[in-house]
């Protein structure tokens, strides 16, 4: 049986998870693939760094260059993360003609085209299944399972930390700050939590999915990104009353019309309680993929963690091993830029529905002033809730707004915010009906 030798850079939580999964199921993989996969070297920060599973001491080195420069290593797994030294490691490995497997979403999102060019130049391949939605095989599905499809829409709950926080806020009627503090205590949220709760991690992931789906690289600077800091308990409760759940949704949606493009965005979104994504709770991730041929499909699973991520890393290793076994260097190209004129549609141009919460003075004419601003902007109100209050006092006023371009909505909101009867900055979330 042919042998493929692995080198891994990173021996912490995910790295030890990969090693453990290989120890457990490496024999099964060999039987299934007809290739024996061996670990040859693992570069770690320190031999005794804390790790959930042990790594064989004789495989460890603290010098990553030993992995990259070892001529017996065919495939390098990069699990360092970030865009600094990890980029150097990946480029150095590709330059040596080694196939690279990475879980690094930030790196792929920011430097994908550079890395793909380096891979093409060396004739090596670059695999990144673990970079999006952990153990869910979403990249393989888009690239291979759905190769015959165009993708009118992809909706993803792609950040487990945010989904955990929002799920608990909804279930317990709890405040964002309290749930975040608890999530940090339990290890479900990092300290500081910004990368997750400000939407950056989700931005990397939806950008990668959008790029694969639409054939042009989605520049992460152009991805409209909002996190979940402004989601409050009161909005969760009003959303529930209206039949909705608030989720941090990554959206990659084809926009047709005079200026075709793709909406690529991340923001807290009201989704109908009856939609399947509304039932995705806790740390779980899910991707709802609409293909023009296949129709609607749903992927659900763990988006993070040592074991789920190891499953994705080893699936890439299996592909790399098969490529080597069959003498094929690039069976599935990491990215195919097949849409030269592709562009991200700016958020201002995107048409959506809205949930709006205002804090207003309960007195005659308040609603009329707000309605007049919307009427002048040709924006329709679809429903209004105002809990009974006391005249002259502040009350919440909730409006559901029909489809309107974001630019028009923002202009109307700026005018509404200036009305003397409006007491606090308006709170606005977009609504997605998956039509
Ligand atoms: N921090 C991410 C999440 C997992 O909470 O989903 C790694 O991408």
**CA 160–ligand 1 middle distance (angstroms):** 6
Supply the residue whose CA is at minimum distance from atom 4 of ligand 1. Answer: 304
pLDDT, mean of residues 98-107: 97
Q: Which region, left, alpha or beta, applies to residue 97 given φ > 0 means left and ψ of -120 to 50 means alpha? A: left
Question: What is the per-residue pLDDT for 393?
Answer: 87
Element (H, E) at 168: helix 160-172
CA distances from 233 to 35, 94, 175 (A): 53, 48, 5
Q: How confident is the model at residue 169 (pLDDT cuts 50, 70, 90)?
A: very high
Q: Which of 15, 23, 95 is nearest to 47 (CA)?
A: 15
Question: What is the per-residue pLDDT for 391?
Answer: 83
Supply the pTM of this predicted model: 0.96
Give the DSSP per-residue string, 263-291.
Answer: EEEEEEEEEETTSGGGG--TTEEEEEEEE
Pocket residue to mutate for ligand 1, from 201, 208, 228, most atoms within 8 A of Cβ: 201
Pair type for strands 126-127 and 224-225? unpaired
Q: Which domains does the chain have, with CATH numbers?
A: 2-134+306-325 (3.40.50.720), 142-302 (3.30.360.10), 351-431 (3.30.70.260)
Is 253 labeled as catalytic in the residue annotation?
A: no
Q: Round to whole Å and give the CA distance between 116 and 335.
A: 7
Q: Round to whole Å and give the CA distance between 381 and 355.
A: 10
Q: How confident is the model at residue 390 (pLDDT cuts 50, 70, 90)?
A: confident
Percent of the chain whose predicted confidence (pLDDT) is above 90? 95
Q: Which atom of ligand 1 lies at the shortest distance from residue 158's CA?
A: 6
Residue partners of 156: CB distance under 8 A and separation at least 6: 133, 202, 205, 206, 209, 249, 250, 251, 252, 285, 286, 287, 288
pLDDT, tens digit (0-9, with 9 covering 90-100), for 208-225: 999 999 999 999 999 999
Q: Which of 411, 407, 158 is nearest to 266 (CA)?
A: 158
Instruction: Reply yes or no on whether the pLDDT at 188 is more than 90.
Output: no
Q: Which of 233, 228, 167, 237 is nearest to 200 (CA)?
A: 228
Catalytic residue among 41, 98, 105, 205: 205
pLDDT, tens digit (0-9, with 9 covering 90-100), for 50-94: 999 999 999 999 999 999 999 999 999 999 999 999 999 999 999
Question: What is the per-residue pLDDT for 389?
Answer: 80
Q: Round to whole Å and give the CA distance between 162 and 183.
A: 10
CA–CA–CA angle 111, 207, 335 (5° rounding): 60
Supply the residue whose CA is at minimum distance from atom 7 of ligand 1. Answer: 304
List all residues whose CB is within 6 A of at least one atom of ligand 1: 159-161, 196, 201, 303-304
Instruction: Write down the mean pLDDT value for the chain.
Output: 96
pLDDT, tens digit (0-9, with 9 covering 90-100), for 339-350: 999 999 999 999
pLDDT, mean of residues 382-408: 93
């Amino acid at each position: 049986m042919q042998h493929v030798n692995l080198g891994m850079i990173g021996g912490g939580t995910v790295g030890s998870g990969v090693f453990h999964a290989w120890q457990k199921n490496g024999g099964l993989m060999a039987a299934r693939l007809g290739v024996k996969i061996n670990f040859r070297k693992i570069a770690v920060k320190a031999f005794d760094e804390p790790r959930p599973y042990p790594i064989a001491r004789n495989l460890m080195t603290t010098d990553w260059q030993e992995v990259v420069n070892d001529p017996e290593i065919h495939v390098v797994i990069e699990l360092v993360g970030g865009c600094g030294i990890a980029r150097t490691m990946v480029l150095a490995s590709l330059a040596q003609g080694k196939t690279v497997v990475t879980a690094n979403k930030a790196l792929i999102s920011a430097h994908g085209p550079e890395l793909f060019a380096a891979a093409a130049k060396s004739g090596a391949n670059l695999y990144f299944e673990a970079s999006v939605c952990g153990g869910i095989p979403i990249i393989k599905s888009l690239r291979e399972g759905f190769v015959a499809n165009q993708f009118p829409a992809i909706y993803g709950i792609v950040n487990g930390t945010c989904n955990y926080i929002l799920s608990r806020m909804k279930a317990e009627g709890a405040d964002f700050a309290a749930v975040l503090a608890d999530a940090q205590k339990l290890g479900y949220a990092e300290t500081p939590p910004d990368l997750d709760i400000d939407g950056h991690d989700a931005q990397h992931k939806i950008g990668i999915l959008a790029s694969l789906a639409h054939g042009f690289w989605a520049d992460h600077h152009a991805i409209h990104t909002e996190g979940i800091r402004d989601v409050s308990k009161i909005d969760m409760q009003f959303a529930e009353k209206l039949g909705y759940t608030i989720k941090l949704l990554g959206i990659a949606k084809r926009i047709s019309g005079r200026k075709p493009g793709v909406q690529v965005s991340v923001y807290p979104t009201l989704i109908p309680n009856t939609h399947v994504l509304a039932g995705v709770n806790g740390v779980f991730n899910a991707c709802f993929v609409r293909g023009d041929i296949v129709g609607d499909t749903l992927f659900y699973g763990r988006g993070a963690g040592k074991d789920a991520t190891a499953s994705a890393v080893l699936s890439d290793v299996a592909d790399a091993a098969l490529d080597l076994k069959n003498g094929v260097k690039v069976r599935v190209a990491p990215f195919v830029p097949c849409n030269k004129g592709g562009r991200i549609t700016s958020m201002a141009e995107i048409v959506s529905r809205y949930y709006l919460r205002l804090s207003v003075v309960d007195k005659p004419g308040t609603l009329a002033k707000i309605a007049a601003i919307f009427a002048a902007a040709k924006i329709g109100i679809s429903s209004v809730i105002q809990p009974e209050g006391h005249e002259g006092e502040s009350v919440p006023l909730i409006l559901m707004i029909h489809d309107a371009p974001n630019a028009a909505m923002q202009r109307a909101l700026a005018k509404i915010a200036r009305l003397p009867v409006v007491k606090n900055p308006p709170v606005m979330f977009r609504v997605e009906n998956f039509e």
